[in-house]
Structure 1
Amino acid sequence: MRIGIIGTGAIGGTIAALLDRAGHQVSVTARGEGLAAIAEHGLRFDGAWGEHVATVTASETLVATPDLAFVCTKAQDASAALRENAEHLRGITVVIVQNGLEALEVAAGILPDAELVGALALYASQYVEPGHVTVTATGSTYLGAGAGEPSDAARSAAGILGQVMPAFATPNFLGAQWTKLVVNMVNAMPALTGLSVQQTIADRRLSRVVTASMRETTRIGFASGVRYATLQGLSNPLLRVFSALPLWAARSLPTLMARRMGSVPNLGSTLQSRRRGRTTEIDYLNGAVVRAAAAIGRPAPVNAAIVEAMQGLEPTGEFLTPEQGGALPVR
């Protein structure tokens, strides 16, 4: 099958390398040093799912229409990437692999005649250097759209992706997006401090803020009428209990998540963006919580403070100390 991958970072690189290894005809988009490295050396892949050097067609934009496309850019880059590649995405199934809540709505405004499917990648991969990605922790990918049953397009795309990694078409994809958003609340503190996810959760000062942002997110979701999907050990009943816990008791949830990550430092996608000098997706993670809260007339002070702190740091390239990070307001 001819498969296009738009955005060859950690997630896109993983999907591209695995599908190439399975024998599919893979074309990828990349820029700058990443494009040059793939063109010269191939796409290097290693880690928990084995090693492979993928010989893929690489260019700044797609040069032909694939049978199936995966959009794996950061959320803040998705709109531009979709517009640049729209000519070769019309009328086909396009899988949007992104964090946050708004990816499918953005894509629908640009590709009204494409069959759009959302996807949540729950494995951990890192962009080691241009043209080189590694998987640090295995996990599943869930595909779907909205709060109902998965479409035939979602089931078909899950079947293709399921050839190379655990992949499932899931009902209540909206609930899955919200569960993943709760999980993604661990990403901000590493990007603020430069520490790994495990280090930030092990620090009592920082873990208080992480826990508060997760609990606030969970509460906003429930107040918005969300029924959380079961992902990564989280479920609607468990999150209902978590949302009601005092902060000291709620810390047990991120602590358990950190233990499940193992000993390999998990940097989180937001810190990886900062290390590459890229704008982060903070507006589509913590910022999504702030917008969802505003839509129901509620505040989200913890997540708002995190967004404000990140926006202040991004232009400087600096990081907060653990003392400074732990001083962010929680309640």
Structure 2
Amino acid sequence: MRIGIIGAGALGGTFAALLARAGHDVEVTARGAGLEAIRASGIRLSGAYGDVHARVAAGERLTAAPELVLVCTKAQDAASAIESNAELIDGAPVVVVQNGLDGVATAARLLPRSSCMGVLSIIAANYTEPGVVRITTPATSYLGRGDGPADAECTRIAALLSEAVPVVAIGGFRGAQWTKLVVNMLNAVPAIVGRSVQEVVDDRRLRRVVTASMRETVRIGIARGVRFGALQGLGDRRLRLFARVPLTLGQVLPWLMRVRMGGVPNLGSTQQSLRRGQPTEVDFLNGAVVREASVAGLDAPVNRALTALVHEVEQRAASLPAERVLADVPV
């Protein structure tokens, strides 16, 4: 199958390499040093899915009409990247592989003739060198759309992608997006202090902040009428219980996530963006919680403070001491 992948970073590069290994005709888009590296040396993938050296067509835009499209850009780049390729891809099935809550709706708005769906990926991948991706933690990805059960097209696309990497079609996708948003609360604090996720969770003071951001996210989701989807051992009942327990007891949740990661340092996608000198997706992660809280007539002070601190690190191009997190975040 001809598959176009818009954005060949950590996840885009992973899907591109594995789909090419499975025999698909893959073309990717990239920019700058990433594009130069892929054109010169292909995509080099290592780690949990084995070693893959994939030579794929690459450019700033797709050049051939694909039969399937994966949008794997950062959330803040999705609209412009889709618009740049819209004439060629509108009408093809589109899968948005992205953090945050808005990706599928954005694609559907810009591509009215396409059938749009989303993928939630828990794969941990380090992408700090152009064209080179290392998988530190493998995981099943989850494909769906909306609030209803998985439809026939979602099931078909999930089966096709599973030829390369495990993907399961799920119902209640919107609720699963919120569960993934809770998981993504692991990103901000490591990015601010310049440590791995494991090191942050191992620090009891910083683990408390991470727990507070997760609990605030769950509480805002509940206020917005969300039924959390099952993802990585988390689900609606467990997260609602987590929202009620004392903060000290709630720290078990990020600790269990840390154990699942293993010993290979996980930087998190936000910190990887900072290390590459690129804008982060914090406005679509912690910032999304702040916006959803506002819609519900509530405040999200923990995530508002973390969003501001990540933006400060972006502007300074340097991490901040842990003491700033402890002083600025109201826990």
Secondary structure in structure 2 of the residue aligned to 1:28: strand
User: Higher mean Cα deviation, 149-158 or 118-127?
Assistant: 149-158
Q: Judge conservation of contact 1:34–1:131 (CA < 8 Å) in 2.
A: yes
% identical aligned pairs: 53
How far off is 1:143 after superposition?
Answer: 0.6
Q: Judge conservation of contact 1:128–1:134 (CA < 8 Å) in 2.
A: no
Q: Partner of 1:221 in structure 2?
A: 221
Q: Judge conservation of contact 2:273–2:279 (CA < 8 Å) in 1.
A: yes
Q: Partner of 2:231 in structure 1?
A: 231
How far off is 1:127 after superposition?
Answer: 0.8
Q: Partner of 2:172 in structure 1?
A: 172
Q: Partner of 1:71 in structure 2?
A: 71
How far off is 1:153 after superposition?
Answer: 2.6
Q: Partner of 2:31 in structure 1?
A: 31
Q: Partner of 1:306 in structure 2?
A: 306
Give CA deviations for 1:227-267 in whole Å, capped at 9, x if unaligned: 11111111111111100011111111111111111000011
Partner Cα distance (1:269, 1:154) in 2:
26
Matches within 5 A, 1:266-305: 266-305=266-305
How far off is 1:311 after superposition?
Answer: 1.7
Q: Partner of 1:53 in structure 2?
A: 53
Letter in 2 for 1:211: T
Q: Judge conservation of contact 1:219–1:243 (CA < 8 Å) in 2.
A: yes
Secondary structure in structure 2 of the residue aligned to 1:157: helix
Secondary structure in structure 1 of the residue aligned to 2:316: coil
Q: Judge conservation of contact 1:5–1:71 (CA < 8 Å) in 2.
A: yes
Secondary structure in structure 2 of the residue aligned to 1:327: helix
Q: Judge conservation of contact 2:128–2:272 (CA < 8 Å) in 1.
A: no
Give CA deviations for 1:246-301 in whole Å, capped at 9, x if unaligned: 11111111111111110000110000000000100000000110111111101111
Matches within 5 A, 1:1-331: 1-331=1-331
TM-score (norm 1): 0.98
Letter in 2 for 1:160: L
Partner Cα distance (2:151, 2:288) in 1:
25
CA RMSD of aligned residues (A): 1.0
Q: Judge conservation of contact 1:141–1:168 (CA < 8 Å) in 2.
A: yes
Q: Judge conservation of contact 2:108–2:115 (CA < 8 Å) in 1.
A: no
Partner Cα distance (2:302, 2:140) in 1:
29
Letter in 2 for 1:122: I
Q: Judge conservation of contact 2:99–2:120 (CA < 8 Å) in 1.
A: yes
How far off is 1:79 after superposition?
Answer: 0.6
How far off is 1:88 after superposition?
Answer: 1.5
Q: Judge conservation of contact 1:93–1:153 (CA < 8 Å) in 2.
A: no
Secondary structure in structure 1 of the residue aligned to 2:315: coil
Partner Cα distance (1:265, 1:323) in 2:
22
Structure 1 unmatched runs, 5+: none
Secondary structure in structure 2 of the residue aligned to 1:46: strand
After TM superposition, what 4+ stretches of structure 1 lie above 6 angstroms from structure 2?
none
Secondary structure in structure 2 of the residue aligned to 1:330: coil
Q: Judge conservation of contact 1:4–1:28 (CA < 8 Å) in 2.
A: yes
Give CA deviations for 1:171-224 in whole Å, capped at 9, x if unaligned: 000010000000000000111111000111111221111110000000111111
Q: Judge conservation of contact 1:227–1:236 (CA < 8 Å) in 2.
A: yes
Q: How many residues align?
A: 331
Structure 2 unmatched runs, 5+: none
Give CA deviations for 1:49-108 in whole Å, capped at 9, x if unaligned: 001110100111000110001000000010110000101111110000001101112112
TM-score (norm 2): 0.98
